[in-house]
């Protein structure tokens, strides 16, 4: 039988790329999907073995359907999907435009909806599998600047539960990981020195997470060790959520 297959969205860099690397280390085959061709190419080049490259915008239903068609054509199976692609626009509520709002929700929420809907039939043909949605601690607590981003991630956590309930009969488990801060390109773009200080003050472990630490949790939720876990949100956040301390 061929090795299991994982599709990782937003896989060209950051948490998604580290997750793809982890799957390859564990002997899985990987389909790496990203909207940015340069990021996708450099991500693919950095991996230790070949992957299926998928240039795709997760908010475009036709492109998502085509990506799944290519996964079927190449591998004939799909065991896990990591809905990791996301964007962050941090602005005060009164400065957040309708366009900002729509784009953040389209990528962070509609993307995982479309991808899961497209992927589930192929997963079910092989007896099921596991989907992991990448949310954020910004969806667990309200804070300034994150009206669109935080709302998209809070909704994604509820979508996770809806998907878990409906897809259980197909043998598909669905869980979410809510990362605390990780020093990726996204964080470098939106985490000001004030935001960084705020996070450090609120995290018992007093440091940013590593991409590999997120990949370990995501892999756990896709693998055999988590067969009885579905509909859950696991915060991988250095203890942030446990303290009850909010951000400003
Ligand atoms: P990143 O910006 O480094 O990587 C995100 C990737 O997604 C990029 O390669 C980008 O090109 C791709 N992407 C963006 N829009 C896309 C689209 N429409 N279709 C397909 N691909 C698209 O970010 P990251 O920090 O690795 O974030 C990964 C996930 O983790 C995101 O969902 C993010 O919201 C979440 N997250 C990150 C942090 C953090 O501190 N870095 C914290 C909490 C949650």
Does 58 score more than 80 pLDDT? yes
Check pocket membership of 133 for ligand 1, CB cut-off 6 A.
no
**pLDDT > 70? residue 1:** no
Taking phi over 0 as left and psi of -120 to 50 as alpha, with beta for the rest, 115 belongs to alpha
Sign of torsion over alpha carbons 200, 221, 113, 58? positive
Question: Is the CB of 154 inside a 6 Å radius of any atom of ligand 1?
Answer: no
Distance 1 CA to ligand 1 centre (A): 33
Q: State the Cα–Cα distance between residues 89 and 187, nearest whole angstrom.
A: 11
Cα-only R_g, the chain: 17
| pLDDT single digits (tens) 61-100 | 999 999 999 999 999 999 999 999 999 999 999 999 999 9
- Rounded Cα distance, 197 and 191, in Å: 10
Say which residues have a Cβ less than 8 Å from residue 134's Cβ, sequence separation at least 6.
15, 82, 83, 84, 86, 176, 177, 179, 214, 218
Q: Is 149 a catalytic residue?
A: yes
Please give the biggest Cα pair distance in the chain: 55
Nearest to 75 by CA among 30, 44, 133, 113: 30
- Give tens-digit pLDDT for 183-193: 999 999 999 99
Q: Mean pLDDT across the stretch 195-201?
A: 91
pTM of the model: 0.98
Name the phi and psi angles at 98, rounded to 5: -60, -35
Q: How much distance in Å is there from the Cα of 35 to the middle of ligand 1?
A: 11
> Are 238 and 203 spatial neighbours (Cβ–Cβ below 8 Å)?
yes
Are the CB atoms for 185 and 14 separated by under 8 Å?
Answer: yes
Q: Can you give the length of the chain in residues?
A: 248
Closest C-alpha residue for ligand 1 atom 29? 84
Question: Of all atoms in ligand 1, which is nearest to the CA of residue 40?
Answer: 9
Q: Phi, psi (5° rounding) for residue 63? A: -65, -35
Pairing of strands 52-55, 80-83: unpaired
pLDDT value for 2: 87
In the chain, the percentage of residues whose pLDDT exceeds 90 is 95
Mean local confidence (pLDDT), 175-186: 97
Ligand 1 contacts CB of residue 57 (under 6 A): yes
- Average pLDDT (20-42) is 98
């Amino acid at each position: 039988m061929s090795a299991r297959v994982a599709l990782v969205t937003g896989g060209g860099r950051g948490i998604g790329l580290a997750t793809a690397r982890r799957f390859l280390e564990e002997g899985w085959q990987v389909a790496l999907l990203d909207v940015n061709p340069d990021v996708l190419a450099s991500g693919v080049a950095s991996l230790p073995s070949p992957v299926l490259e998928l240039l795709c915008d997760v908010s475009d239903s036709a492109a998502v359907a085509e990506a799944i068609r290519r996964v079927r054509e190449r591998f004939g199976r799909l065991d896990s999907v990591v809905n990791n692609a996301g964007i962050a626009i941090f602005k005060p509520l009164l400065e957040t435009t309708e366009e900002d709002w729509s784009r953040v929700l389209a990528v962070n929420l509609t993307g995982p909806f479309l991808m899961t809907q497209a992927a589930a039939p192929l997963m079910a043909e092989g007896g099921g599998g596991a989907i992991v949605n990448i949310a954020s601690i910004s969806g667990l607590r309200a804070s300034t600047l994150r009206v669109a981003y935080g709302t998209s991630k809070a909704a994604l956590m509820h979508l996770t539960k809806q998907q878990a309930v409906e897809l259980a009969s197909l043998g598909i488990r669905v869980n979410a990981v809510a990362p605390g801060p990780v020093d990726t390109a996204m964080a470098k773009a939106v985490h000001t020195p004030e935001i960084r200080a705020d996070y450090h003050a609120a995290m018992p472990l007093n440091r940013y997470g590593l991409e590999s630490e997120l990949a370990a949790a995501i892999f756990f939720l896709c693998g055999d060790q988590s067969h009885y876990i579905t509909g859950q949100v696991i915060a991988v956040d250095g203890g942030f959520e446990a303290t009850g301390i909010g951000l400003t």
